[in-house]
């Protein structure tokens, strides 16, 4: 977004501008919009209010932290306990956690980061991972951190692995041992959005291979958790390669609260 576009299109079309009439809008509205243009990492990814740090504002972060989660996977549930998927089949990883439900503005930001080359979003999205890491995983003895890999074809097509970008920032922040080549994707699978959980599991079977991981406790990073099929397929390979335990961490996850 260029400055000309911001001044001629974003400001006039904004709700704040329209509510205040022609050219008359409050200081808060102006500073919020200006912050979004000049410092895009400094506003809340959920509500849009100005933040001192990337990610979520204090209010949205508190609400996200209080949401009930499945005891095992990263899904959000209504009252605690297990989600509908884990009630049917227990995953191979020990536990997975996510920062926010996969919905609303955050869903849009994740898709823009993943498919539209908006790689500046890596820092505020990594900040969400850091918040949930501190909440659930800070005391666990991870000996390796790694990302869900892309196939070589998709990596060449997209130009980057969004999950690896997030992993690098998390590893640097906490001094974790990042092994970017621990996992390799050997099958170029189709986009999984239109498939159900069982179909995803079949598609992803034998899609990954792992290097030797004997005795390691692995933290596996991805951007989005839906059915858990990707994390489970990666975990199967890591455990077969000798990993002691595998934990998952994602930015957003499926919301099972309506079931």
Q: What is the reported pLDDT for 87?
A: 92
Is the pLDDT reported for residue 217 higher than 70? Answer: yes
Map tokens 């959980």 to a residue: 197
Question: CA-based diameter of the chain, in Å?
Answer: 66
Query: Rounded to whole angstroms, how far apart are CA atoms 173 and 69?
Result: 25
Q: pLDDT tens digits, residue range 134-151?
A: 999 999 999 999 999 999
Q: Shortest CA distance to 71 belongs to which of 94, 88, 92?
A: 94
Map out the domains of the chain as residue ranges: 3-38, 65-253
Map tokens 């060449």 to a residue: 156
User: Do the Cβ atoms of 25 and 19 come closer than 8 Å?
Assistant: yes
- CB-based contacts of 9: which residues, under 8 Å, 6+ apart? none
Q: pLDDT tens digits, residue range 72-129?
A: 999 999 987 999 889 999 999 999 999 999 999 999 999 999 999 999 999 999 999 9
Q: Identify which has the larger pLDDT, 63 or 256.
A: 63
**Residue 206 pLDDT level (bands cut at 50, 70, 90):** confident
| Token couple for 91 | 């995953």
Reduced to 3 states (helix: H, G, I; strand: E, B; else coil), residue 241 is coil
User: Do the Cβ atoms of 241 and 211 come closer than 8 Å?
Assistant: yes
Query: Rounded to whole angstroms, how far apart are CA atoms 146 and 84?
Result: 27
Is the pLDDT reported for residue 31 higher than 90? Answer: no
| Class (C level, CATH) for 65-253 | alpha beta
Is the pLDDT reported for residue 25 higher than 50? Answer: no
Please list the residues that pair with 210 across neighbouring strands: 183
């Amino acid at each position: 977004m260029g400055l000309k576009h911001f001044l001629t299109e974003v400001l006039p079309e904004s709700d704040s501008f329209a509510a205040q009439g022609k050219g008359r809008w409050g200081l808060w509205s102006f500073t919020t919009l200006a912050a979004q243009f000049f410092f895009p990492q400094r506003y809340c990814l959920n509500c849009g209010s100005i933040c001192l740090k990337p990610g979520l504002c204090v209010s949205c972060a508190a609400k996200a932290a209080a949401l009930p989660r499945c005891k095992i996977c990263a899904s959000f549930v209504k009252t605690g306990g297990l989600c509908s998927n884990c009630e049917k089949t227990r995953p191979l990883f020990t536990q997975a956690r996510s920062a926010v439900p996969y919905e609303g503005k955050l869903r849009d930001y994740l898709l823009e980061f993943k498919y539209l080359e908006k790689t500046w979003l890596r820092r505020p999205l990594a900040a969400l991972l850091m918040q949930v890491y501190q909440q659930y995983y800070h005391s666990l003895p991870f000996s390796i951190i790694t990302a869900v890999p892309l196939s070589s074809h998709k990596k060449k097509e997209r130009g980057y692995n969004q999950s690896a970008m997030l992993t690098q920032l998390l590893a640097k922040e906490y001094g974790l041992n990042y092994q970017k080549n621990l996992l390799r994707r050997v099958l170029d699978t189709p986009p999984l959005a239109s498939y159900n959980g069982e179909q995803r599991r079949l598609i992803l079977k034998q899609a990954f291979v792992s290097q030797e991981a004997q005795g390691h406790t692995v933290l596996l990073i991805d951007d989005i958790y839906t059915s858990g099929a990707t994390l489970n397929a990666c975990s199967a390979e890591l455990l077969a390669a000798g990993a002691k335990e595998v934990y998952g961490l994602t930015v957003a996850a499926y919301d099972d609260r309506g079931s």
